[in-house]
Structure 1
Amino acid sequence: MRDATTDRTDQTTASDPTGPTDAADPTGATDPADLTATQLVARYASGDLSPVEATRAVLARIERIQPKVNAFTRVDADGALRQAEASAERWRRGAPVGLVDGVPVTVKDLLLLRGAPTLRGSRTVRADAAAWDEDAPSVARLREHGAVFVGKTTTPEFGWKGVTDSPLTGVTGNPYDPRRTAGGSSGGSAAAVALGAAPLSLGTDGGGSVRIPASFCGIFGFKPTYGRVPLYPASPFGTLAHVGPMTRDAADAALLMDVISGPDWRDWSQLAPPESHFRAATANGTAGVSGLRVAYSPTLGGTARVRPDVAAAVRRAVELLAELGAGVEEIDPGVSDPVEAFHVLWFSGAARLVQPLAADDRELLDPGLREVCAQGAAFSALDYLAAVDVRMALGQAMGRFHTAYDLLVTPTLPVTAFEAGAEVPEGSGHTRWTGWTPFTYPFNLTQQPAATVPCGVDGDGLPVGVQLVAARHADALVLRAAHALYEAGVAEAVAPPVL
């Protein structure tokens, strides 16, 4: 059995003595590791930068930050450099194979990546249990578009909670303060993107698992409409689970969405291909929100206790939307907190996930996961169907709400990053991660597109996120509004972390 120590010591590093480690970009602008995917592609096209140079810079960054934040379960430097060299040759011939040819990418370790074990943060998954010769749909689309896969990122065991620590790989720290959590369950991806360890990452979101860590780490995270990005194998958490981009800004997320929204027959619940490319959503700059009807709900009906510094940063972002021409009204959707229904669906999925495990293997599980699995196993089919009824009613209510409002804006989270290794903030009174994530899981129940945009920092310099939510299928609208906020400088106060 491969344990976390073996996986990390198995990592390889670039060793070409002629290649720079943290070398500046040839244009003199910045280290290639600090460029967005959009910038990288433009510089590849102009000949100012090679995919090999960019990949070396990213690998050097990983080597520096991994001991500090523990964002990776596996790094394949040799494989990444081979892919980068092949990409460089394609660019030299003027024949890139896709939209992200040569762009370094990381993949959350819940998604299949051909040639690498997908251990899912669990000591119960053996590296020799499968051939690992298949890509998840989103990974397959990236491979077809020439992406360079540098590694797999950390997750809590089976992605079950909103922070990232697991019995297999330990704790993932926040890029702004490694003593604090990166959030979860896509915490490794968020930390990697924030620190320049590849500009694009694939995360998964079943109750906020893209948006929570993106908010804590000061990056952009997007949960598309369910089915917009094909998913295989099917999640044990059913139709709560989405695949989404984790990037430095909305423009990169739109680029990544144009890649990973490609169809895949293995997901029978996927949506039809989008009618237009998502990059068009970022074409209008700050004019992208002019005339939009925006509902601002600071507490989502009073169910959330939002810290004053978080509330203030979010309100400033809402005021910026108004300055850009949106019609903003402070109003709640009029829905009640669906946390109990979410627990039934989520905990039942967890119980089904571990059901095949032998008793000895169950003892290897995260103790918190064992607890929610026991709760999930106690629910009946009628309990499950009653939770589905709550979900359907919530979806109807939000559908009605969006006939009057294009966007719903809330805080992404009521708090900023807290102590690493804890499921809930100390002294909060919460027992499970859902207690401090009241703004995220409702929109997994409704399957709506939702994004988090960094909009400020708290008194400790930790990032704050604002959440943008639209009606189902209005993914481009969320990206358009997020891009307008970026163009207007909403994230300027969130300085990139330096470790």
Structure 2
Amino acid sequence: MKAGSARADGAVDANELARLSAVELLEGYRSRRFTPRDVIEDVIAALELTNASCNVVVTATYDSARAAADEATAAWSTGRPEGKLAGVPVSIKDLVYVAGVRALGGAPANKDLVPSVDAAVVSALKSAGAIVTCKTTTCESGYKLTADSPVSGITRNPWNTDRTSGGSSGGAAASVAAGCGPLAIGTDGVGSIRVPSSFCGVVGIKPTFGLVPRSPGFSPPSWASLAHTGPIARTVADAALLLEVVAAHDLRDAASLPVPPRSFDAIPGKLDGITIGSSVDFGYAAVAPDVRKAFRLAADTLGSLGADIVPDCVQFAPDMLERILKPIAYTEQAAAVSGRDTSALASSDSDYRDVVAQGATYSGIDYVEANYRRNSLRASFLEIFKTVDAIVTPTVAVTAFQAGALGVDRVDGVAVDRHLGWSPFSWPINLTGLPAATIPCGFDSDGLPIGLQIVAPWLDEDLIVRIAAAFEAARPWARFRPRMS
């Protein structure tokens, strides 16, 4: 895919439609410069090309996408389209159910699983007129922060195919970054929206826990008390629009919050009157030098937009991973597959089997004690938000590492946990249920994207969107594209 541009007459090259934002697509439909069928054909071509080099698609739904695009084209031709996303393509992470479409979820044991029901988010998207193009790659049960699995292989980064896309929503983030349509649905249990979005240079939002329902399809229900569903997009406005559509109360999800429909103002403005706490390391974490540099420049940019920046506002103990997260996350992961016998896990990743085995060793007392500590962590954030309106951190402590690896075991010369130690900023936010987003804020010396994480109090996604939109306007990133052959 080559970089292109809109022509002077306002028309768009046919092979550039897949790169347009959702907002631009809707405007193009209104002005009749192109149709949803035109767009779907270009999106399918882009997905096929990107899949060949990055491995982002598990199951294509191109025939049904074309049929839906024809219906949307007819609706737009009469001027009566229904829904906020009428004719806009969206991909769905393979942990989320789409009726009649395989739901492997990265697991060999799910080879015959074809759900008969849409997940709540998919129902909402279809009601809004969105067109599902494919199921995207993930790791098995979303257990790690890459999208490699025994059923789909290794997912790669479009900025450098020798590097990982991150995960577990790696296929979603990589496809959006590569220009295969503007929108994707991901899930996030320990960072699985934010990490791949950071590694691939796109926008990802993990909403407040319960704002977006997960039922009736999320397979298996791993990271049960940690997992969020949310948007991945190229722009802040697109991510906000997608979140508006999927945020809804659903009684089928016990964690779903009974809040009214949301709307978000993504028009950029100044940040006067907002106090933002910054933390480059949470007081203990090892962070790569390029990431530290990009973060400091990003914090300076927020200050130049009028925000009052409070440095070093977060100080956490370095044992949170072992004493809080693992006893909760690993136990929930083991519980999600407790009904499977040993042979059903024989073809799983060895690292996945290790996580399940470790999760089975924790006692009920271990799990409950970890949740007591989790409540203390939540209380810590409550105290922090008494003095600041929002918090910014790096999204990940490193940039994309070698494709196929579980992670890295050293950051800036410091030994870290290979599974989760290099992403110290993401999973504490899952433990608290706070909303958080990642937005691109620069590149490392190898030209790989770096992300800025924005965290706000519960249900204050409006503030996240406001800060992200202001930063996007000051430091626009959508013009930067990976060079795909």
Q: Normalising by the residue count of structure 1, what TM-score does the alignment of the two structures yield? A: 0.91
1:318 and 2:299 aligned: yes
Q: How far 1:385 sits from its partner (Å)?
A: 0.4
One-letter amino acid matched to 2:102: P
Alignment correspondent of 2:104:
119
Change (3 A) 1:489 1:431: closer
Q: How far 1:42 sits from its partner (Å)?
A: 1.1
One-letter amino acid matched to 2:109: T
SS in 2 for 1:193: helix
SS in 2 for 1:286: coil
SS in 2 for 1:39: helix
Counterparts of 2:87 and 2:256 in 1: how far apart (Å)?
A: 27
Alignment correspondent of 2:348:
365
SS in 2 for 1:164: coil
- 2:276–2:392 Cα contact (<8 Å) kept: yes
Q: How does 1:421-436 map to 2 (within 5 A)?
A: 421-425=404-408, 429-436=415-422
Q: How far 1:92 sits from its partner (Å)?
A: 1.1
Q: How does 1:458-469 map to 2 (within 5 A)?
A: 458-469=444-455
Q: 2:321 aligns with which of 339, 346, 352?
A: 339
SS in 1 for 2:463: helix
Q: 1:166 aligns with which of 141, 149, 158?
A: 149
SS in 1 for 2:109: coil
Counterparts of 1:257 and 1:380 in 2: how far apart (Å)?
A: 37
Deviates more, 1:366-375 or 1:260-269: 260-269
1:272 and 2:258 aligned: yes
Alignment correspondent of 2:274:
292
SS in 2 for 1:435: coil
Deviation per CA, 1:10-51, whole angstroms, max 9, x where unpaired? xxxxxxxxxxxx998883345111100111011111111200
Deviation per CA, 1:166-223, whole angstroms, max 9, x where unpaired? 1111000001011110001000000010011121000000000000000000000110
Q: How far 1:373 sits from its partner (Å)?
A: 0.8
Alignment correspondent of 2:461:
475
Q: 1:409 aligns with which of 372, 388, 392?
A: 392
- 1:457–1:494 Cα contact (<8 Å) kept: no
Q: 2:434 aligns with which of 448, 456, 464?
A: 448
For structure 2, the 5+ residue unaligned runs are none
Alignment correspondent of 1:3:
none
Q: How far 1:491 sits from its partner (Å)?
A: 2.7
1:308 and 2:294 aligned: no
1:106 and 2:87 aligned: no
Q: How far 1:400 sits from its partner (Å)?
A: 1.5
Count residues with an aligned counterpart: 471
Alignment correspondent of 1:196:
179
Deviates more, 1:22-31 or 1:76-85: 22-31
Q: How does 1:1-12 map to 2 (within 5 A)?
A: none
Counterparts of 1:460 and 1:389 in 2: how far apart (Å)?
A: 42
Counterparts of 1:393 and 1:182 in 2: how far apart (Å)?
A: 33
Calculate percent identity across the aligned residue pairs.
37
1:259 and 2:245 aligned: yes
Deviation per CA, 1:280-322, whole angstroms, max 9, x where unpaired? x213x132x2221011111111x21111111111111111111
SS in 1 for 2:453: strand
Q: How far 1:498 sits from its partner (Å)?
A: 2.7
- 2:395–2:426 Cα contact (<8 Å) kept: yes
Aligned-residue RMSD, C-alpha: 1.8
Deviation per CA, 1:373-430, whole angstroms, max 9, x where unpaired? 1111010100000110111000011011112101111101111000000011265544
Change (3 A) 1:61 1:315: same
Counterparts of 2:480 and 2:310 in 1: how far apart (Å)?
A: 26
One-letter amino acid matched to 1:425: V
Q: 1:390 aligns with which of 361, 373, 379?
A: 373
Q: How far 1:332 sits from its partner (Å)?
A: 2.6
Alignment correspondent of 1:183:
166
1:32 and 2:4 aligned: no
Counterparts of 2:72 and 2:477 in 1: how far apart (Å)?
A: 32
Alignment correspondent of 1:60:
45
- 2:177–2:481 Cα contact (<8 Å) kept: no
SS in 1 for 2:225: helix
Deviates more, 1:51-60 or 1:235-244: 235-244
Counterparts of 1:264 and 1:405 in 2: how far apart (Å)?
A: 32
One-letter amino acid matched to 1:247: A
- 1:313–1:456 Cα contact (<8 Å) kept: yes
Deviation per CA, 1:443-469, whole angstroms, max 9, x where unpaired? 000100111110110111000001100
- 2:189–2:226 Cα contact (<8 Å) kept: yes
Change (3 A) 1:237 1:204: same
Change (3 A) 1:246 1:455: same
Alignment correspondent of 2:189:
206
One-letter amino acid matched to 2:365: L
Change (3 A) 1:339 1:384: same
- 1:295–1:328 Cα contact (<8 Å) kept: yes
One-letter amino acid matched to 1:116: V
Q: How far 1:431 sits from its partner (Å)?
A: 4.2
Q: How far 1:148 sits from its partner (Å)?
A: 0.8
1:282 and 2:266 aligned: yes
Deviation per CA, 1:140-165, whole angstroms, max 9, x where unpaired? 10010111111000000011001111
Change (3 A) 1:495 1:286: farther
Alignment correspondent of 1:240:
226
Deviates more, 1:488-497 or 1:175-184: 488-497
One-letter amino acid matched to 1:239: S
SS in 2 for 1:321: helix
SS in 2 for 1:178: strand
SS in 2 for 1:52: helix
